Chain A
């Protein structure tokens, strides 16, 4: 199946990050076109395209923009979320490094539609090289009149700055990001009010993922109807899938949404690494439920199909595990991640994340009891839905789904209490 190349059309060209090459391949034509349209029409086009947020939530981008109040008298802020930190996800890094002007052009179009005059790219601190690529692209865009005062001779003026994070997963959550951008620890805020109404410095704010913004130039160039015609009815367009783990050809792939997951694994990723069998996949970054190999028949890579299968498309971070994977060890690896990344603001998450990690560690060491499994379930029940941000729900998902899908791997350790010496060495 031939897939559309909306986001990665020019990703192979080494000179693509230079503005002259970007322009030569049609770059910034969409911005010219957008600036000739009234902002309301750009917003309407994006709404019509059916584009959904690619950071993980999958919420309608046009609808999110529509929540910004008209004429509030306050500045509107647009933030590009390039804090890519969901385990298994590395797609935005590709765009930022290889086609930084695409990320900027989409952002300038969005700022025009939203009436933003000051915008910010929030990039995770570890992405030092992508940050250099974006800094250079910003300087070039200013020099060529795509940023700054009176862009392309219009009365639209926009400044974009780059803000580096400093190693906190929680800043990918939009209100944690806003707190961080205000110069604070990135502790998420209670919603409502939503950022569209009360965001950065108390002003209307839209936070959009890099991949979401990078789709806008194509949509403006080709029209909403053309975008909507790709993918499925409810999941239109293309999506970047980051494939990692036990596949022959890991990497970032752009697919039309609705592509069968098993076909994707076999045709794009070259199947499971030599001599091994597929055991499970975590399809949308580590915070979504795991699916066993026998649950994947007929499952497609789109929001609805994965939801029907009991998981989520999330960020498109597809982690593939073969039969050598120990699911209790997998649970411990991920619980350690969540325990380390909890911002510490809400008691259930702060205390529960470490507590669950300790219990899983005990089970893996062969010292668990049957009561421990019930204790994990009870703790998860106390965390889920009881925290300010979705991190609480995210942290209980891997362990609960691994226990539900691979109960024998947990109970075997508890029944026999074996292997403790070998397993002590873990971590």
Chain B
């Protein structure tokens, strides 16, 4: 066994994410591919964690499981104290709606919808009234600094702005975790720093942030780096996060 359970941090309280012996096996007919081979991981409230690893290491599979887009073959996954590894599709949808905020590499905004409507989307599925929805969505756009772009469609925004709209959408339902999959992968380095600055600020304000990336210089902003290889955690380290030199960030 070359994976180690992560050390528990706040012992008195159950962590936001508690994963035990998580396995995901893809049945490809003749061969069975073990994408996750028994992973143990605890993530505490307000951690800023980077999940690293080469492609095929299992980090994307873990990302899908953490985001409740998929269910594990074996093992348990408790999210905010609730077991979510055995829920059906509709129950998973509801968990995603309430607990998860996704940020994707390709932004994944609805192309014909305005920023405001894109940010409102999770609230629509939560059954919120349109007035309340608009208020919360505008607030989320304000947090990412795009409240003046509420009526713009994605093709009227820059890449960095699109990703900030996507982050606003991820934040709008006050999720337990912000799950970002290569959020700077489609951005130039200047814009990448802007987006990372936003993640740092959100983390400073108490948000739990999980960043999946294969770029080492992006992982430097995290407090903790978990490295995957062949479906297992091979490294789990705390680090002093790098801070952006360009701007003072309030602590």
Chain A partners chain B: no
Residue ranges of B at the interface with A (Cβ–Cβ < 8 Å): none
Residue ranges of A at the interface with B (Cβ–Cβ < 8 Å): none
